[in-house]
A and B are shown apart, each in its own frame.
Chain A
Amino acid sequence: DMKVTQMPRYLIKRMGENVLLECGQDMSHETMYWYRQDPGLGLQLIYISYDVDSNSEGDIPKGYRVSRKKREHFSLILDSAKTNQTSVYFCASSPRRVGSDYTFGSGTRLLVI
């Protein structure tokens, strides 16, 4: 069963702590994405990765960085988390082919207190 797996599902962090969100996919998709979802704002693109070590900023990259050292794994890092980074974070993957559906993971609910 093809899927995108995100860990952890729920996370509570204090302001200023570092946060690591992990995402894996078993479809050998070249392209992977990190989005955040907030009420009324839909899905906002944080970073896109076209393949290993080939990452590009999305629409809201400030306060985030990413790492992709293997095609099947894409990490999102928050250095010194802020309360306004409380959100639901979704990872997605797709083949690097125009018109391809995205496959999303189940999301990580992050609360920064």
Chain B
Amino acid sequence: QQNVQQSPESLIVPEGARTSLNCTFSDSASQYFWWYRQHSGKAPKALMSIFSNGEKEEGRFTIHLNKASLHFSLHIRDSQPSDSALYLCAVETGGYKVVFGSGTRLLVSP
């Protein structure tokens, strides 16, 4: 049974700061990893995905995956108030199923 844990539970950062969100998983055979973002009262939306070890950058966002340590992370450069949201990491477990973490609530203060 895949176990996905996120840290921290919540985070407050000033505008312009670099933000780091963490996710650990338990199944070393996992191959597909995502970060979803959910603004208050809205649907979760896929932000970025990574399918192989290493880093992937898209604009201000970077995912880093280390399968050996069962860890992946999301880094936000130059955080903006519009980045304030619940961030959910997700790991595919097989059978087209995905397990979500419980989320990190990010608040970027102006």
Q: Name the residue among B51, B95, B102 with the largest chain A CB count within 10 angstroms.
A: B102
As a 0/1 sequence over residues 91 to 113 of chain A, the CB contacts with chain B under 8 angstroms (1 = contact) are: 00010101111101111000000
Are A48 and B96 within 8 A (Cβ)? yes
Question: In the assembly, what is the distance between CA of A102 and CA of B36, in Å?
Answer: 9
Are A45 and B97 within 8 A (Cβ)? yes
Are A48 and B97 within 8 A (Cβ)? yes
Interface residues on A, range: 20 to 34
Are B42 and A106 within 8 A (Cβ)? yes
Chain B CB within 8 A of A43 CB: yes
As a 0/1 sequence over residues 3 to 16 of chain A, the CB contacts with chain B under 8 angstroms (1 = contact) are: 01000000000000
Are B46 and A50 within 8 A (Cβ)? no
Q: Name the residue among A50, A101, A105 with the largest chain B CB count within 10 angstroms.
A: A101
23 contacts between A and B (CB under 8 A): A40-B9, A40-B102, A42-B100, A42-B101, A42-B102, A48-B95, A56-B95, A58-B97, A90-B44, A94-B96, A96-B96, A99-B31, A99-B49, A99-B51, A99-B92, A101-B34, A101-B46, A102-B44, A102-B46, A102-B98, A104-B44, A105-B43, A106-B42
Residues of B within 8 A of A (CB): 9, 31-32, 34, 36, 42-46, 49, 51, 88, 92, 95-103
